[in-house]
């Protein structure tokens, strides 16, 4: 069975500091990996995804994540955060042979302080 663990429930950080949100997964089959972002009282928006190819994937707003198969991790990083990055972030895993069922982690709340 697949599972996803987000190691930190809350991550406080000052504006312009770097941040890493950690995600580990377990799966015996090939997987797709995702990071979603959720602003208060809204749905989830896709931030970035790993399907195949380069293990480093980037989003348009400066986030990046690296797929590490040996460590079964998909940590999310940003070198310099903004106040507007304050949100909840979810890591998710899906099987490459399945149609759409994703397993989500518990979520990490990123709190960016001025």
Partner 1 sequence: DGGITQSPKYLFRKEGQNVTLSCEQNLNHDAMYWYRQDPGQGLRLIYYSQIVNDFQKGDIAEGYSVSREKKESFPLTVTSAQKNPTAFYLCASSSASGYTGELFFGEGSRLTVL
- CA geometry: angle at 73 spanning 97 and 93, to 5°? 30
- Binding residue (CB under 8 A) for partner 1 from 30, 42, 55, 80: 42
Question: What does the chain come to in residues?
Answer: 114
Phi, psi (rounded to 5 degrees) for 107: 95, 145
* Nearer of residues 84 and 96 to partner 1, judged by Cβ: 96
Instruction: Specify the DSSP element, H or E, that contains 74.
Output: strand 73-78
Binding track over 82-101 against partner 1, x by CB under 8 A: --------x---x-x-xxxx
**Which of these segments, 1-9, 15-23, 65-73, 77-85, binds partner 1 (CB under 8 A)?**
1-9
- Residue 107 engages partner 1 in binding (rule: CB under 8 A): yes
Strand partners, 50: 33
- Binding residue (CB under 8 A) for partner 1 from 44, 64, 66, 77: 44
Spatial contact of 34 and 92, defined as CB atoms under 8 Å apart: yes
Q: Determine whether 80 is exposed, middle or buried from the number of CB atoms within 10 Å of its CB (0-12, 13-18, 19+).
A: exposed
Least Cβ distance, residue 114 to partner 1 (angstroms)? 25
Question: Rule CB under 8 A: which residues touch partner 1?
Answer: 4, 6, 9, 32, 34, 36, 41-46, 49, 51, 90, 94, 96, 98-102, 104-107
């Amino acid at each position: 069975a697949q599972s996803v663990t987000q190691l930190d429930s809350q991550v406080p950080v000052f504006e312009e500091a770097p941040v890493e949100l950690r995600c580990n997964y377990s799966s015996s089959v090939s997987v797709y990996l995702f990071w979603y972002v959720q602003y208060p009282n809204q749905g989830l928006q896709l931030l970035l995804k790993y399907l195949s190819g380069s293990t480093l994937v980037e989003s348009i707003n400066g986030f990046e994540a690296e797929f590490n198969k040996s460590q079964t991790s998909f940590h999310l990083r940003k070198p310099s955060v903004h106040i507007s990055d304050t949100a909840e972030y979810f890591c998710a895993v899906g099987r490459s042979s399945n149609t759409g069922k994703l397993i989500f982690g518990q979520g990490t709340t990123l709190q960016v302080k001025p």
